[in-house]
Amino acid sequence: MKIHKPIVLITGATAGIGAATAKIFAENGYPLILTGRRQARLEALKEGLNTEVLTLCFDVREKEAVKNNLLNLPEAWKNIEIIVNNAGLAAGLAPIQSGEVEDWEQMIDTNLKGLLYVTHSLVPGMIERGNGGHIINVASIAGKEVYPNGNVYCATKHAVDALSRGMRMDLLPHRIKVTNIAPGLTETEFSIVRFKGDVAKAGTVYAGITPLYAEDIAEVIWFAATRPPHVTLNDIVIMPTAQASSTLVNRK
């Protein structure tokens, strides 16, 4: 396999922002490693991409699965230069006193620990190769502001925001860029997952506005990843025009 462009690894690639990001990189000829929990969706996505693709089916919450997959890549796929830490979710929307502990654990394990497991597995190789690299963490406006009933989800995304800044400092000597992406209301499977399959309830989140879409975020990720070597976009907040903050939305 002859690879002429950097290998890009995208977590949570089976839907939404991850899938849209895979498509825009594929359109530009980048070889992709796509990870997710749903094998059938990974394969379906792969079939539609006109580039070389390696799919890995595992859950980022499972530390050993992350290590087994990412530390045992085929030789031709080891030189990953761009990591898009996209896997993440919200589970439930309740005040702290009535939240479900299982939801909290799912969010902490996915949004925070999963990102750490992936990054910890891949960054030593980046450093050893000495060619720099780029880590793009998909956070949220919830990492900038806390909103009612968002407690633990907001806490995990605040942690991603802090980790992005910490990674940027730690990896500065190795010329590894770190970009934090913080979207506002983006219509994907996000709210359906948060409300555990209640499509009608999920739809109310975006009622009366034109939200962001997965493709909008993917375009920003692509832009950040393709800046010249001397340019790093540290932190990008993206909002639909109808949204000014986590709680201020102009619905019509």
Cα gap 215→220, rounded to integer Å? 9
153 is known as an active-site residue = yes
For 58-96, the DSSP string reads --TT-HHHHHHHHSS--GGG--EEEEEE----------G
Q: Which of 30, 117, 147, 153 is catalytic?
A: 153
Structural contact between residues 34 and 57, judged by C-beta atoms closer than 8 angstroms: no
Q: Which helix (H) or strand (E) holds 213?
A: strand 212-213
Task: Supply the angle between the helices 115-129 and 151-171 in degrees, to the nearest 10.
Answer: 10
Neighbours of 202 (CB within 10 A): 18
The residues that are catalytic are: 153
